[in-house]
Amino acid sequence: MPLDAEIDAFQTATKDLVGVTVRSLELLEGRVSLSQFRMLVVLADHGPSPSSKVARGLGLGASSVTRLADRLEASGHVVRGHDPRNRSIVTLALTPAGRRLVDRVMAWRRAELARILGRLAPSDRAVLAAALHRFHEAVDRADADGPYGSVPP
C-alpha cells in the first residue's frame, strides 16, 4: 500500500497539473466550454471518429455528445459526416478552426510546462519523466479493468 506521503505527493502534482490546464483554458476566451474543448481534444487525438467512439472517449452518453456536437458545429469547430460503409453512423471531425484552437491551447501548455521544468536540473527532469511514463502505464493497466475505480454514491 502506498504511503500517505506518496499519495500526498501525487495529490499535489495533480493540483499543479490541473492548475496549468485551467490556466490554458483562458485561451478559449469563452468561445467553447470545457466540455466542448474536451471533445475537440478527443477528435484531435483520434481524428474523424464515429460519435459513439467520441462518447466512450469522453465517458458520456450519446445524447450529451449530440448536444456538444450541435454547439461545436454551430460555432464552426466541428463538422458532421457519415461513415461511407454505413450511412447511419454519424462521424465527427475537427474543422480547421477547431484544429487551430486545440493547437493553440496545447502549444501554450507545452510552453508553460517547459518554463516550469526549466527550473529543474536535467537529471531531475529525466527521473520525473521516467516515473511519469511508468505511472501512465499503471493507469493504462488499471483502465483495462474498467474506466476508473468506482465512485461512492
pLDDT tens, 13-51? 999 999 999 999 999 888 899 999 999 999 999 999 999
Report pLDDT for 71. 94
Cβ count within 10 A of residue 122: 9
Amino acid residing at 131: A
pLDDT tens, 79-126? 999 888 888 888 999 999 999 999 999 999 999 999 999 999 999 999
User: pTM, whole model, 2 decimals?
Assistant: 0.83
The pLDDT confidence band at residue 150, using thresholds 50, 70 and 90, is low
Q: Cell triple for residue 13? A: 502534482
SS (HEC) of the chain:
CCCHHHHHHHHHHHHHHHHHHHHHHHHHCCCCCHHHHHHHHHHHHHCCEEHHHHHHHHCCCHHHHHHHHHHHHHCCCEEEEEECCEEEEEEEEECHHHHHHHHHHHHHHHHHHHHHHCCCCHHHHHHHHHHHHHHHHHHHHHHHCCCCCCCCC
Query: How far is the C-alpha of 28 from the C-alpha of 142, rounded, in Å?
Result: 32
Domains of the chain, first to last: 17-144 (1.10.10.10)
CA-to-CA dists, residue 77 to 98, 103, 106, angstroms: 4, 13, 16
